[in-house]
Structure 1
Amino acid sequence: MLNKLSAEFFGTFWLVLGGCGSAVLAAAIPDVGIGYLGVSLAFGLTVLTMAYAVGGISGGHFNPAVSLGLALAGRFEARNLIPYWIAQVIGAIAAAAVLYLIASGKAGFAPGGFASNGYGELSPTGYGMTAALVTEIALTAFFVIIILGATSATAPAGFAPLPIGLGLTLIHLVSIPVTNTSVNPARSTGVALFAETAALGQLWLFWVAPLVGAAIGAIIWKALLGRD
């Protein structure tokens, strides 16, 4: 079990360091910043690379919502859910701490939002709470459907990380303007602890919505799509 939890820790660590790091360190550089597209690709690449690196050890969840969806779909033992969540959240917090140490090495650094998620005043373009809820629920549901489909017995073997990583990239392209994209409670928790905004006060939404979305995705897969 320790190697599985370690894989989830390091996989989530890499997701937050690579994805949120691209937003904090590279997205806002004048004239040469990578922008929404670059950040979206960074998040997708973190999942793709670590799914290949350690997915064979732990299943490559790196996300409490994914773990819940897989458990509800019968692909993951429910008794391991809480240990996985703990490893994922600790990995996200550790990565956010490392990112903060790096970012604060620049003169004049101010954390600001620190790649955190939010709605209302904390939404990148001003979307409200209802829009944020719907966005996070719908996109997490489809992310879980993509994962269940890509890892099903009928899918081509060995290619699952590609559609999963590309799926997460697409999700970010759609939802960065709305919520700065969560679909992952661990990712939201890690950076919210270091943000100089009200991100912690809005963190509940980025736990509730992804978990609800994951449950919906698992139900849709089992009822209508799954053939395993």
Structure 2
Amino acid sequence: MADKEDDIAVGATTKYGERIPLGTSAPIDARDYTEPAFAPLVDRKEFGLWAFWRAGIAEFFASLLFLYIAINTVMGQDRLGGCNGVGTQGIAWAFGGMIFVLVYCTAGISGGHINPAVTFGLFLARKVSLPRAVFYMICQCLGAICGAGIVKGFQPGFYEANGGGANQVAHGYTKGDGLGAEIVGTFVLVYTVFSATDAKRKARDSYVPVLAPLPIGFAVYLVHLATIPITGTGINPARSLGAAVIFNRHHNAWNDHWIFWVGPLLGATLAATYHMVVIRAMPFSKTRV
């Protein structure tokens, strides 16, 4: 157990329920922790495992359900409008709440990424292999396209008339504004994912346990509140791609579409770098703990 000195318990309890003073070292048994090995860049054995393919299927259906609920909520707001609709806050709750539900349902199967930017960030942190990351992203995008397609299939006329939930930079904002909103919004989301799923915190810091999907869903909700007026909130390239592919005829959506890939991937890169270098200081630790 190297580098124990850098871990300080804040109001932690012993296994007997006794509160220890702030600023003192955590009890030994609460701090035993070995950092998991990095995922291999390419692991050919994965292709022969049903768990690998099952995880991709889970990501596909989670993305399908996410787009179905999310776009239906946006369409419903457009249909009712004003005080009769759910409003910006209702849309934000639908996106955040659905992510909470889907991460909870799929975390034990695929990790509950449901977002290429999240997958990309975890790949950069060597949490998943390259084949798994690519497979997840493909499944997420296909699931999102199918989810948007189902919404259009149920109400084609209304879907076409109201933009199909496609992301675009709102009138009055520049493409730079939209790109910045997507970078920062995705940073918040991916940083939250790293923090909520960090095994070291659970094993060594004796913090109050929190259901991981809850802060992730809440982060999605808060980011939507902030950026719906700017870009409609992407922070998920699969969500933006699914809506754009099915709507297909809204030229401004395709003109701005690069923002909803470049922004989230940059935001995920920054979040992964911040977590690995600043929060975990892995490049400076001889033992990676």
Q: So what's the TM-score if we normalise by structure 2?
A: 0.73
1:38-75 per-position Cα deviation (integer Å, ceiling 9, x unaligned)? 00000001111011111110000000000000111222
Query: Aligned residue for 2:176?
Result: 130
Distance 1:59 1:28, change over 3 A: same
Query: Aligned residue for 1:15?
Result: 66
Query: Aligned residue for 1:197?
Result: 250
User: Counterpart amino acid of 2:194?
Assistant: L
Aligned pair 1:117/2:167, yes or no? Answer: yes
User: Counterpart amino acid of 2:258?
Assistant: W
1:84-123 to 2 correspondences below 5 Å: 84-104=136-156, 110-119=160-169, 123=170
1:102-148 per-position Cα deviation (integer Å, ceiling 9, x unaligned)? 222x6x663332111112xxx1x531100001110111112111000
1:46-85 to 2 correspondences below 5 Å: 46-85=98-137
Q: Say whether the 8 Å CA contact 2:119–2:136 is kept in structure 1.
A: yes
1:191-222 per-position Cα deviation (integer Å, ceiling 9, x unaligned)? 11233422123211111110111001100111
Separation (CA, whole Å) in 2 of partners of 1:91 and 1:109: 18
Aligned pair 1:218/2:272, yes or no? Answer: yes
User: Counterpart amino acid of 2:262?
Assistant: V
User: Counterpart amino acid of 2:123?
Assistant: A
Give how far 1:168 is off: 0.2
Separation (CA, whole Å) in 2 of partners of 1:98 and 1:190: 11
Q: Which runs of 5+ in 2 are unaligned?
A: 1-51, 203-207, 282-288
Distance 1:101 1:62, change over 3 A: same
Separation (CA, whole Å) in 2 of partners of 1:165 and 1:63: 13
Give how far 1:157 is off: 5.0
Separation (CA, whole Å) in 2 of partners of 1:207 and 1:188: 8
Indicate the larger mover: 77-86 or 52-61. 77-86
Q: Say whether the 8 Å CA contact 1:188–1:206 is kept in structure 2.
A: yes
Higher relative contact order (CA 8 A, sep 6+): 1
Local SS of the residue matching 1:203: coil
State the Cα RMSD in Å: 1.7
Q: So what's the TM-score if we normalise by structure 1?
A: 0.91
Task: Tell me the number of residue pairs that the alignment of Structure 1 and Structure 2 aligns.
Answer: 222
Q: Which runs of 5+ in 1 are unaligned?
A: none
Separation (CA, whole Å) in 1 of partners of 2:159 and 2:73: 16
Indicate the larger mover: 22-31 or 47-56. 22-31
